Amino acid sequence: MKMALLKDIPMLEARATKNLTCPNNIFCSADLLDNFITCDIEPSLWPFKTNHFPIISVIDVTVAPREYMPQPNFRDMKWDKFHEKLKLELGSIPDPEAYDTINEFNRAIERLDQAINMCIERHVPMSKPCPASKRWWTKKLAETKKAVMKLGRKSYKLWVMVDHPIHNKFHRARNNDSLQICKAKAKYWTE
């Protein structure tokens, strides 16, 4: 922990003696200390009937924008085609054999790794994630959400007709959609 407020800055005036003292400190982590623009007392804002001076801290809380790099999207990949291409790539590697040295073994692993990575680079579609994307979201959930929204619009148009069956249908679909989202999240994070 580091002190954000400089040492020996008076922040309290004793009522009886009018002595200025330094009983309080402002501590923060070493990483956060760099974000402090200022940390000082402001006697001009001193409220009535108090003995503490107000402490004003100005902290820079801007967040640097994060770069989202495209990554292989194994969910949208056609696995049967990928297996065919991988077999072709692995066909260019000599068959496994008994290796006499660690260097020979490492070279064989390197060739295998290069073949797999080359196949991934050539045949796996790349995703373009945005900052708000949810990793557990699937195409099936998107389709279900779209259907629920459509039912919601129909239900809204018929809001005057309270007994219309579209309202119950919409509520069941909405509840089912929520349940599917919870299951998808749990399944993703469990895996």
Domain count, the chain: 3
Percent of the chain with pLDDT over 90: 23
Percent of the chain with pLDDT over 70: 98
Q: Is the pLDDT of residue 157 over 90?
A: yes
Q: Is the pLDDT of residue 29 over 80?
A: yes
In a domain, 30, yes or no: yes
Q: pLDDT by residue (tens digit) across 75-94?
A: 778 888 888 888 888 888 87
In a domain, 182, yes or no: yes
Is-above-0.85 flag for pTM?
no
Domain extent at residue 35: 2-59
Give the end of a domain, one of 127, 150, 171: 127
In a domain, 65, yes or no: no
Phi, psi of 84 (to 5 degrees): -60, -45
86 and 122: one domain?
yes
75 and 114: one domain?
yes
77 and 44: one domain?
no
Among 25, 22, 57, CA closest to 38: 57
46 and 8: one domain?
yes
